[in-house]
Amino acid sequence: MYQSPFVPTGDWHGQLLEPAHPQPPQVLLPWLEYPGSLTAALKRLSRGDFRVQVLSQCWQLPRAEECRALNLRTHSRALVREVLLYGLGHPWVFARSILPLRSLQGKSRNLRSLDSRPLGELLFSEPGIRRGNMEFNHLTRNPCLQLAALDRESDNAWGRRSTFWLRDKPLLVAETFLSSFRPDGPPSRATASNDRENPP
């Protein structure tokens, strides 16, 4: 049975934790706080050597904290999509998206069949997409993890999440930066103005 690679540790925070708590590596800070499209930034960093591996995409009950973030009833079902984003042949980011049923109706039905396309690329073509505030968490590696691509992954990783509104309906997207992601600087701002409001 499939298991998510990483699970949140406690509550999500509207800002990075106080100095008394574990802190993300300095080089990761601008990536965690980057307001533009993460997919576009990763593609620039990888010089086009980028791909998506779908781990799971199915209808299920979101976690309680995800239901709270989306203002869903506790037993509401949603399409839960988990993927790995690869750059330069390495898994860089684990992404988990929660797409409530009511957000996948009408013109948004195409989000039900993304396959290996990045969610952000599809949303990029949608006018009027809005992003809520970012939240951060220190996630823990699932001890039941059985995924060869992440065999050497660290026990903890830093992640962020945001609620997006497409046609005024919410989607929750969370990204976890893996230990093989070792950028040599902040996200390129070459086209940041074009993707500032677009999701990862």
pLDDT of residue 189: 65
pLDDT of residue 20: 56
Q: Are 40 and 18 in contact (CB under 8 A)?
A: no
| Banded model confidence at residue 8, pLDDT cuts 50, 70, 90 | very high
The amino acid at 12: W
The amino acid at 44: R
Query: Which three-class secondary structure state does DSSP give residue 36?
Result: coil
Greater pLDDT, 10 or 171:
171
pLDDT digits 0-9 by tens, 41-79: 999 999 989 999 999 999 999 999 999 999 998 888 999
Element (H, E) at 32: helix 29-32
% of the chain residues with pLDDT over 90: 54
Instruction: Look at 15-24, 27-36, 71-80, 125-134 and tell me which has the smallest mean pLDDT.
Output: 15-24
pLDDT of residue 194: 46
pLDDT of residue 191: 44
DSSP 83-116: EEEEETTEEEEEEEEEEEGGGGSGGGGGGGG-TT
Q: Are 32 and 160 in contact (CB under 8 A)?
A: yes
